[in-house]
Structure 1
Amino acid sequence: MIAGNINFLNLATLPKSLYCILSRPEINFNILKNQLDGRYQLDGEKWFYNINESYTSPEQERHTEFHKQFLDIQLILSGEEIIRYSLTDSTNEQCYEKKTDLFILENPRLNNFIHLTAGDFVTFYPGEPHQALCMVDVRNKVRKAVFKVPIDII
């Protein structure tokens, strides 16, 4: 897991492949926050991103997930959320596949959290469990871009 702010990419110690994605002119924060909700994939790229709006809720109501084929970069465009996570590999834990490459843990053990606001991002590598959209104090709206990066280009 790596965290940072899109406006200070050089401080995030990202691998070159991820730095190159987030530093592209088309991935400018102002451009992203003004894009319509939807799925976007730049010509010739294997990675893509989704922009959508969701609402936070209490952690007890949120599922914990991990992926096997894609790394997530979750970039907050507006609002704030807490993402709970663990620094362990959940690949062999009891889970079910809700949809392609979205594995839901049945008995998650998450002992860390990060509070994200507009401009902040966090990466989750394959196997890293995370529980997004946990509320800070009250339910609120969060708009974010979630980048899906295939593991073979990391």
Structure 2
Amino acid sequence: MIAGNINILKLATLPESLYNILSRPEMELTNLQHLADGYYQVDQEKWFYNIGNSQTAPIDTRHTEFHKQFLDIQLILQGEEIIRYSLTDVITEPAFEKKPDLFILESPILTNSIHLKAGDFVTFYPGEPHQALCMVDEPRMVRKAVFKVPMNMI
């Protein structure tokens, strides 16, 4: 897991491939904030991203997930959320595949959390469990871009 802010990208110490994605001019925060909800893929690249609004919720109502093929970059465009996570590899833990490359853990143990606001991002490598969209004080709307980067690019 790597965390940072898109406005001070160099401090995040990202691998070059991820830095090259987030440092593209069209990935500036104000540009992303003005895009419509939807799926975006740049110039036939292998990576893509989705932009949309989601409702945060109490921790006990949120699922914990992980991926096997793609790295996630979750970038907050508006609002704020808490993402709970653990610095463990759960790739072999009991889980069910809700949709392609989205595995839901049956009995997650999450030991850490991060509070993200507009411009902040966090990466989750395959096998890293994360519970996104946890509310800060009360349920609220958060707008975010979620990048999916195939592991063979890292």
Scaled by the length of structure 2, the TM-score of the pair is: 0.99
| Correspondence for 2:113 | 113
| Correspondence for 2:129 | 129
Q: Is 1:22 matched up with 2:22? A: yes
Q: Distance in 2 between matches of 1:121 and 1:39?
A: 18
Q: Which amino acid aligns with 1:115?
A: H
Cα offset for 1:44? 2.5
The residue correspondences of 1:91-110 to structure 2 (distance < 5 A) are: 91-110=91-110
| Correspondence for 2:11 | 11
Q: Which amino acid aligns with 1:31?
A: N
Q: Distance in 1 between matches of 2:25 and 2:109?
A: 38
Q: Distance in 1 between matches of 2:87 and 2:111?
A: 9
Q: Which runs of 5+ in 1 are unaligned?
A: none
Q: Which amino acid aligns with 1:112?
A: N
Q: Distance in 2 between matches of 1:30 and 1:115?
A: 21
Runs of 4+, deviation exceeding 2 Å: none
Q: Distance in 2 between matches of 1:104 and 1:65?
A: 4
SS at match of 1:17: helix
Q: Is 1:60 matched up with 2:77? A: no
| Correspondence for 1:45 | 45
CA shift digits 1:37-73 (9 cap, x unpaired): 0000011200000000001000100000000000000
State the aligned residue count. 154
Cα offset for 1:143? 0.1
Scaled by the length of structure 1, the TM-score of the pair is: 0.99
Q: Distance in 1 between matches of 2:83 and 2:19?
A: 22
Q: Which amino acid aligns with 1:48?
A: F
CA shift digits 1:116-140 (9 cap, x unpaired): 0000000000000000000011011
Q: Distance in 2 between matches of 1:53 and 1:111?
A: 26
Q: Distance in 2 between matches of 1:3 and 1:27?
A: 16
Q: Is 1:146 matched up with 2:146? A: yes
